[in-house]
């Protein structure tokens, strides 16, 4: 337990460092795109490649992709339901800001640090399904709900597919899953390079989260944030117990899935809210609060499970 708390404390300090560097002006929010590109295009793909090369899996594990899709989609439905009596814009807001998981830039570093290669492989499969909802799926439905196009647009599915294929982490998930299923391994030298580069993923991801963290929240925003995240946390706790107790996988896979349930909401909720002309400040508050809640709940889940 002490080692878990120590490592989680290190992650939290790196986040605080990123936040502090922003406050003193050494870094700024305008640096976020640079960090985002480094993480999503270089260090995260490298971490995925290295950890897949250390893992084994069978075809039955592909059902984890479906689990990721269903969990992410379920939160979209719940988010819509939380604002069922509100306006169309409020329903769309709940749909995009309650759905999905921030796997690559937040949960994956935790999994890297605590659960090793099998955990990363399981998380990657889960995120493959999650990405379908996060990378355009939830926005397409929300845009339709808000009366701004979306699901009725015949080009929407094509756009989602293109977005997925342009995502380097998603491409790595698919390619490395296929190689691992086939029993093929990348050359040792490539694996060593991927390991070295991937080791930087945790530091860069946590620093980036600190840079993007905004802790200002009005009293009115607090109520909406509490409603979204409180409901999400309660559902996550139930799903975690069910997955840990009843899924027909090995203990390490069941444990990983249980822990994944406590990850924060997708970071794409903020830009999607902007595209829908919604309350961007509230979306940012939901995202920042979910990260803080995620640090605590993920650490607790790692200890409990």
Q: Which residues contact 93 (CB under 8 A, 6 or more apart)?
A: 79, 83, 142, 273, 276, 278, 279, 282, 283
Range with the poorest average pLDDT among 171-175, 207-211, 217-221: 217-221
Mean pLDDT for the stretch of residues 25-44: 88
Cα gap 230→223, rounded to integer Å: 10
Cα gap 189→184, rounded to integer Å: 15
Range with the poorest average pLDDT among 61-70, 110-119, 158-167, 239-248: 158-167
User: Minimal CA–CA distance to 300: which of 213, 205, 236, 208?
Assistant: 236
Angle at the Cα of 264 from the Cα atoms of 263 and 267, rounded to 5 degrees:
130
pLDDT the model gives residue 231: 96
In Å, the largest CA–CA distance within the chain is 57
Second CATH level (architecture) for the domain 2-304: Up-down Bundle (1.20)
CA 29 to mean position of chain CA atoms: 20
Above pLDDT 70, what percent of the chain? 97
Which is it for the CA torsion 183, 189, 192, 193, positive or negative? negative
Q: For residue 89, what are the CA distances in angstroms to 83, 160, 281, 282?
A: 9, 22, 15, 13
Tally of CB atoms within 10 A around 214: 14
CA 71 to mean position of chain CA atoms: 12
Q: Is the pLDDT of residue 13 over 90?
A: yes
User: Minimal CA–CA distance to 67: which of 111, 122, 117?
Assistant: 122
pLDDT the model gives residue 153: 56
Q: Is the pLDDT of residue 7 over 90?
A: no
Mean pLDDT for the stretch of residues 272-301: 90
State whether residue 92 is helix, strand or coil.
Answer: helix
pTM for this structure? 0.87
User: Band of the pLDDT at 211, cuts 50, 70, 90?
Assistant: confident
What tens digit of pLDDT does each residue of 117-162 get?
889 889 999 999 998 888 777 888 888 888 776 445 556 677 777 8
Q: Is the pLDDT of residue 258 over 90?
A: yes
DSSP 21: H
């Amino acid at each position: 337990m002490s080692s878990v708390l120590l490592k989680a404390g290190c992650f939290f300090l790196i986040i605080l460092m990123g936040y502090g560097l922003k406050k003193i002006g050494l870094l700024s929010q305008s640096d976020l795109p640079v960090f985002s590109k480094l993480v999503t295009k270089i260090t995260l793909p490298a971490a995925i490649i290295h950890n897949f090369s250390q893992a084994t899996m069978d075809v039955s594990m592909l059902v984890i992709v479906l689990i990721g899709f269903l969990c992410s989609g379920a939160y979209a439905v719940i988010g819509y339901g939380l604002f069922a009596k509100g306006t169309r814009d409020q329903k769309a807001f709940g749909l995009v800001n309650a759905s999905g998981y921030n796997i690559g830039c937040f949960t994956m570093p935790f999994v890297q640090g605590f659960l090793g290669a099998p955990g990363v492989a399981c998380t990657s499969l889960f995120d493959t399904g999650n990405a379908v909802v996060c990378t355009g799926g939830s926005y397409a439905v929300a845009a339709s709900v808000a009366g701004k196009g979306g699901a009725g647009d015949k080009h929407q599915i094509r756009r989602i597919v293109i977005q997925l294929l342009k995502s380097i982490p998603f491409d790595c998930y698919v390619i490395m899953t296929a190689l691992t299923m086939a029993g093929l391994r990348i050359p040792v030298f490539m694996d060593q390079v991927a390991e070295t580069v991937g080791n930087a993923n945790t530091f860069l991801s946590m620093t980036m989260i600190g840079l993007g963290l905004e802790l200002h929240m009005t009293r009115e925003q607090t109520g909406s944030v509490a409603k979204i995240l409180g409901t999400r946390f309660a559902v996550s706790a139930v799903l975690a117990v069910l997955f840990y107790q009843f899924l027909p996988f090995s203990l390490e896979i069941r444990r990983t899935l249980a822990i994944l349930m406590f990850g924060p909401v997708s970071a794409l909720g903020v830009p999607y809210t902007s595209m829908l002309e919604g309350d961007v400040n509230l979306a940012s508050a939901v995202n920042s609060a979910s990260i803080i809640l995620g640090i605590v709940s993920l650490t607790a889940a790692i200890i409990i499970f």
